[in-house]
Amino acid sequence: MQTNSSESKYKAPALSKGLDILELLASADEGLGQAELAKRLGRTTSEIFRVLMVLLERGYVELDNGERYRLATKLFEVAHRHPIIRRLTAIAGDEMQKLANRISQSIHLCILSSGKLLVIAQVDCPDTNVNTVRLGSQIPIDDSASGRVLAAFMEHEELNHLLKLAGNETSARRARFLNDLAEVRKAGFCQGKSLTIEGVTNISAPVFDYTGKAVAAVTAPYIHRLTGTDNMPVDEARALLVETCKELSRRMGAGAARGN
């Protein structure tokens, strides 16, 4: 979790400790005690005590009755003050819920963040059986339809930067990911079997901003139900999802740049 100090030109030990703690807690669903935090970070409990107290006072972490620290919602709230996230979530919520109700599937909205996908909005349909992606989740680009949709509309230099951030340049999944991009760009959407869950077809399309850049992806992990009256065919569901993304793009100002 710690970085090599010899590689850092500028050093802020307390800040580094705080960031290490936040990053570790972000992946610990059940929270961690102070001793366990220190052990995993390779530090002593006294080293992280003051930093933990500041994070607690500022509302970035919370402490339960079992003396386990958990990541609070403040970090997520701060992230949503970013203009693009605030605008996307403001215009997308109702449209995503309407779509989820029509196709009877859960829907989530992703953006790129540090080489991964970040889920910034999520809605469920009224059906009993849904496949939900947790709000705030970070997803590797290689495993997702959303990643393919966003990468497919990037310029060469921008794509290379994304791949560098994502790492694993020589993996088999990376090769498959890159091979899919031309087809996704041509079609204007991504549709295919989930690489992580059996029986799910991922359908995803881009949302463009006023510059014509794909800034987000709306995705439905379409589950093939064996019973029920609301089993809309996956191709029909995808067509409706694409139309929703066109409407969101229009509201983001994409029409002026793209001539749609």
Query: Stretch 232-238: mean pLDDT, rounded?
Result: 93
- Its pTM stands at 0.68
**Beta sheet of 138-140, edge-to-edge order:** 138-140, 116-123, 107-113, 214-223, 200-208, 190-193
Task: Give the pair of three-digit tokens for residue 149.
Answer: 């949709």
Between 134 and 181, the more confident residue is 181
Least confident of 78-82, 135-139, 176-180: 78-82
Contacts of 196 (CB under 8 A, 6+ apart): 143
Which of 36, 14, 11 shows the shortest CA–CA distance to 24?
36
Q: Is the pLDDT of residue 153 over 50?
A: yes
Distance (Å) of CA 70 to CA 2, 30, 78, 249: 20, 7, 17, 36
Q: State the Cα–Cα distance between residues 257 and 158, nearest whole angstrom.
A: 19
CATH number of 80-258: 3.30.450.40
- Give the helix ranges, DSSP H, for the chain: 13-26, 34-41, 45-57, 74-79, 83-103, 145-152, 156-166, 172-187, 234-251, 254-258
Task: Give the helix/strand (H/E) hosting 193.
Answer: strand 190-193
Q: Is the pLDDT of residue 56 over 60?
A: yes
Q: State the Cα–Cα distance between residues 247 and 61, nearest whole angstrom.
A: 38
Beta bridge partners of 139: 117
Query: Stretch 17-29: mean pLDDT, rounded?
Result: 85
- Banded model confidence at residue 83, pLDDT cuts 50, 70, 90: low
pLDDT value, residue 113 = 85
pLDDT value, residue 190 = 97
Domain boundaries, the chain: 5-76, 80-258
Q: Is the pLDDT of residue 230 over 50?
A: yes
Query: Stretch 19-46: mean pLDDT, rounded?
Result: 88
pLDDT value, residue 5 = 45
pLDDT value, residue 7 = 57
Task: Give the pair of three-digit tokens for residue 241.
Answer: 């999802």
Query: Stretch 134-139: mean pLDDT, rounded?
Result: 86
pLDDT value, residue 195 = 84
pLDDT value, residue 170 = 67
Mean pLDDT of the chain: 85
Q: Is the pLDDT of residue 112 over 50?
A: yes
Between 97 and 252, the more confident residue is 97
pLDDT value, residue 178 = 94
CATH topology of domain 5-76: Arc Repressor Mutant, subunit A (1.10.10)
Determine contact, residues 197/208, Cβ cutoff 8 Å: no
Query: Stretch 115-126: mean pLDDT, rounded?
Result: 89
